[in-house]
Amino acid sequence: MFILSNCYSPPKDYQEYYSNGWRVYKNHCQKCHGKKGEGWQQLYPPLKRLKNNKKLFAQIPCIVYYGIQKSAVEMPAMNYLTPSDIAYLMTYLAAHYLEKDTLITTAAIEERLQRCFKEKP
């Protein structure tokens, strides 16, 4: 993971990752979790639990790629998303939920996806 401190201006790729990430969120997450992560009724949980929750945050690539079902409603696997799509998405989510202008690389996502089953959420 490539972590940037807030005092430096982010690399030029950052804006591209962020806006691609917003597009991934809009196309693949918003219909259930809402535009601002507010969730929907009892079915789809709000994403506010992610706020400053680094542990849950780190599980997102696995949750998205393999799906999750801890309650009555399942979140379907989205293994048609590429590691780059997930890197964009994570960059976007980091800005909102961790308040960090962090560019999360595709390589970091590939590495993370290899470890999903050792520590499945």
Contacting positions for ligand HEC (CB under 6 A): 28-29, 31-33, 44-45, 47, 49-50, 56, 60, 63-64, 68-71, 73-76, 78, 89
Which CB sits closer to ligand HEC, 16 or 74? 74
Enumerate residues 6+ apart whose C-beta is below 8 A from 61. Answer: 86, 90, 109, 112, 113, 116
Residues in the chain: 121
Which CB sits closer to ligand HEC, 8 or 80? 80
CB of 66 to ligand HEC, least distance (A): 12
- Taking the alpha carbons at both ends of the chain, their separation in whole angstroms is 20
